Amino acid sequence: MSIEPINLELCTGCGTCQDICPVDVIRMDTAQGIPVIKYRQDCMLCQLCVVECPANAITVTPGRLSPVSVSW
Amino acid sequence: MTETFKTDVLVIGGGMAGLLTAIKARQQQVEVILVDKAYAGKSGQSPYADSLCPFNRKWGHNLEKWLHAVNVSGEYINNPEWTKLVLENSFAIYKLFKSWNIEFHKNPDGSLFKKEMPDGGGSTVFFHKNQAPQAARKEALKLGVRIFDRLMITELITSDSKVIGAAGITAENADLRIFNSKVTVMCAGAAGFKPNGWPIHELSGDSDALAYRIGAEVLGKEFTDTHMGNRKTPAFIPFAEQMKAGAGPNTGPKFRRILNAEGDPPHFKGTGGLWLSNEFEIHAGRGPLSAEMPDGSMMEFAGGTTLGLASHKTEGIVPSGLTCATTVDGLFAAGDALGNMAAGAKYPFMGFAITHACVTGCMAGKNAADYAAASPRNTITTEEINAVRQRTFKPLNRKGGFSPRWVIDVLKNALSPYFILYIKHEDRLRGALTYINFIRSHLLSKLIASDAHELRLAHEACNIVLNAEIKLRSSLARKESRGCHYREDFPYRDDKNFLGWIKLKDIDGKMTTLFEPVPEKYRPDLSIPYERRYTARIPGELDHFKRTL
């Protein structure tokens, strides 16, 4: 559901995912050089991180953590 | 830590409108800073655009026919001067993209694939892969535009009613940034309520809210965008793989048709693009609605996936003239933030929004640069910066109160149901307004934030609530139905009283409704009988006329 734990075996720590996430879900742990999913509840499932990750280390699956209100 | 930056032109928002504004301004040899609360070239709606509508007589296009089609689909309240400007300058955008090696879909014989407009006049072409925003970012950087990513502008700074800069916070640490500019261009998109469906959850109506607070007029909020989503996973569109493979988001499997619970297509058919035909079915109790997919399977829809948005190019900051300047000195706007009514009461066809964003971006960049070159820079005083700091960080300094995430959810839960902003009625709009007024007066003044991320959410919450109030008041003021605005209690177009634009403006602290009629020369021929002037029928319309005849 939403952004899944990043595959750190594939991740190169480039920071692209932090930069491009439009809703500030991912932050780099600068000490360790790895991305951390810090605000997972705000992931909007846009998948830009999946598309842009040069190492194919990110997966986003259907379903937001918080309930989604619809109009009908 | 506070830092101040000086620039000639400040551009807020890094979608296509903002990037092209920055590029065109920089080409005039002025200093340009562009800020985006996400990442310029990857934020807003632009990454999901997949088509362009260049006008070209050599392709067999007919400008008069095309303009007429927009006029009819926009139900006669588009601004034809802006529609014409967009179309006349659209081919230059296509050529610019070709010069950046942006690829477009081709036919099997290698020729350019063009989808003809259903109402005639023009055609749409499709990106092979939407590389345009990234190409524009590269071009902007190459020209020397300074880009600040992950920085949310929280307010515009004025002096004697003139915009002299803006203040914002960094995503990482909520550091205050002050931008002192000669001119500022708003390009931060349409006014979503952080919608759940189509992946534009960062849209919180920042452009309209910030501009409204310093005295700009905002219009078109009563018209409603009606994108739908898959009911099983309304917030998820599985397009990552197809985008990686080079396709745009809209080039996946197309559904054949929409069917209601009785197995029939929607009873009410509109002209042009997205309309309210599905909401009419739902309201009549003929839901759920499903899409018949190419393989014959059925996919059930949910509505409201773009909650808060008006149809593209019906809402935004009211321009002054045809230069992308607004009614506030020192403030320009472009893209979905510019309320120029290029489309009218309804979205006309695929590709118009991004074409409009690019054309108005180019215009705003050139004109804002000219404005900056002829303007002095006003100083932002230390006292003003201190006052900005006090306002900006209030949620971080409160010990108790309400979480902005919760406040946004409360608002969305209240305004999501189709019978508030889609199928409207005075009673329900007034009820919603009472609710929103309480959120504004009691909850917003007590927002709390524990870190930079939540501080951004707090500012977004304030912008969403303001946009919601404008939307409800605009909907109340338009006591008729037109395009994507449907009033159950006024189920007909009222050309006598509402052939024009409803604008909202802060006058002495009061949200005030103004009305500007469409200029006489652009009004439809009222001697044409109503049912031929408006070919799209709406529920309750005929009953109304039977009663009044």
User: Are the beta carbons of A22 and B42 separated by less than 8 Å?
Assistant: yes
Nearest to B235 among A50, A52, A68 (CB): A68
> With an 8 Å Cβ cutoff, is A66 touching chain B?
yes
d(C-alpha B314, C-alpha B218), whole Å: 10
Q: If DSSP codes are grouped into helix, strand and coil, which group holds residue B108?
A: coil
Count the residues in chain A. Answer: 72
User: Are the beta carbons of A70 and B171 separated by less than 8 Å?
Assistant: no
**What pLDDT score was predicted for residue B513?**
98
Domain A2-61 has CATH 3.30.70.20: yes
Nearest to B267 by CA among B545, B541, B11: B541
The first and second tokens of residue B316, run together, are 């935004």
**What pLDDT score was predicted for residue B155?**
98
User: Are the beta carbons of B240 and A50 separated by less than 8 Å?
Assistant: yes
User: Are the beta carbons of A22 and B229 separated by less than 8 Å?
Assistant: no
Longest dimension (CA), chain A: 46
DSSP structural state of residue B485: B
- B485 beta partners: B482
Q: If DSSP codes are grouped into helix, strand and coil, which group holds residue B3?
A: strand
d(C-alpha B418, C-alpha B310), whole Å: 14
User: Which regions of B104-204 does DSSP assign to beta strands (E)?
Assistant: 114-116, 123-126, 146-148, 151-159, 162-170, 176-186
d(C-alpha B180, C-alpha B182), whole Å: 7
> With an 8 Å Cβ cutoff, is B432 touching chain A?
no
d(C-alpha B244, C-alpha B25), whole Å: 32
Interface pTM, i.e. ipTM: 0.96
CATH 3.50.50.60 location in chain B: 3-223+309-382
The first and second tokens of residue B56, run together, are 């070209």
User: Are the beta carbons of B43 and A22 separated by less than 8 Å?
Assistant: yes
Nearest CA to CA, how far is B203 from chain A (Å)? 10
Within 10 A of B386 (CB to CB), how many other CB atoms are there?
Answer: 10
Nearest CA to CA, how far is B151 from chain A (Å)? 11
Q: CA neighbours within 13 Å on the CB side: how many for B331?
A: 33
Strands B151-159 and B162-170: antiparallel
Residues 6+ apart with CB under 8 A from B106: B112, B113, B128
d(C-alpha B513, C-alpha B507), whole Å: 10
Q: Are B198 and B305 in contact (CB under 8 A)?
A: yes
Q: Which chain A residues have a beta carbon less than 8 Å from that of B280?
A: none
**What pLDDT score was predicted for residue B272?**
65
The first and second tokens of residue B312, run together, are 């593209």
Nearest to B416 by CA among B430, B432, B403: B432
DSSP structural state of residue B482: B
Nearest to B305 by CA among B199, B156, B155: B199
Q: Which chain B residues have a beta carbon less than 8 Å from that of A47?
A: 199, 239-240, 243
Residue by residue, pLDDT tens for chain B (549 residues) are: 899 999 999 999 999 999 999 999 999 999 999 999 999 999 899 988 889 999 999 999 999 999 999 999 999 999 999 999 999 999 999 999 999 999 998 999 999 999 998 777 899 999 887 889 999 999 999 999 999 999 999 999 999 999 999 999 999 999 999 999 999 999 999 999 999 888 888 999 999 999 999 999 999 999 999 988 888 888 887 777 777 776 666 655 678 899 999 999 999 988 766 899 999 999 999 999 999 988 889 999 999 999 999 988 899 999 999 999 999 999 999 999 999 999 999 998 889 999 999 999 999 999 999 999 999 999 999 999 999 999 999 999 999 999 999 999 999 999 999 999 999 999 999 999 999 999 999 999 999 999 999 999 999 999 999 999 999 999 999 999 999 999 999 999 999 999 999 999 999 999 999 999 999 989 999 999 998 999 899 999 988 887 775
For B48, which residue in chain A has the nearest alpha carbon?
Answer: A46
**What pLDDT score was predicted for residue A42?**
94
d(C-alpha B499, C-alpha B214), whole Å: 28
DSSP letters, B6-46, are EEEEEEE--SHHHHHHHHHHHTTT--EEEE-SS-TTTSTTG
Q: What is the pLDDT of residues A33-63, one digit of tens each?
A: 999 999 999 999 999 999 999 999 999 999 8
CATH 1.20.58.100 location in chain B: 392-517
DSSP letters, B485-539, are BEETTS-S--HHHHSEEEEEEEETTEEEEEEEEPPGGGS--TTS-HHHH--S--T
Q: Which chain A residues have a beta carbon less than 8 Å from that of B171?
A: 24
Which parts of B154-215 fold into alpha helices (H)? 206-213
> With an 8 Å Cβ cutoff, is A50 touching chain B?
yes
- Mean pLDDT in residue range A12-18: 97
Helix (H) or strand (E) holding B8: strand B3-12
Backbone angles phi, psi at B210, to 5 degrees: -65, -40
Q: If DSSP codes are grouped into helix, strand and coil, which group holds residue B5?
A: strand
**What pLDDT score was predicted for residue B248?**
64
DSSP structural state of residue B461: H
Q: Which chain A residues have a beta carbon less than 8 Å from that of B237?
A: 45
The count of CB pairs under 8 A between chains A and B is 107
For A71, which residue in chain B has the nearest alpha carbon?
Answer: B417
Backbone angles phi, psi at B469, to 5 degrees: -65, -45
Q: Which chain B residues have a beta carbon less than 8 Å from that of A28?
A: none
B392-517: CATH, from 1.10.286.10, 3.40.50.12780, 3.10.450.50, 1.20.58.100: 1.20.58.100
**Per CATH, which fold does B3-223+309-382 belong to?**
FAD/NAD(P)-binding domain (3.50.50)
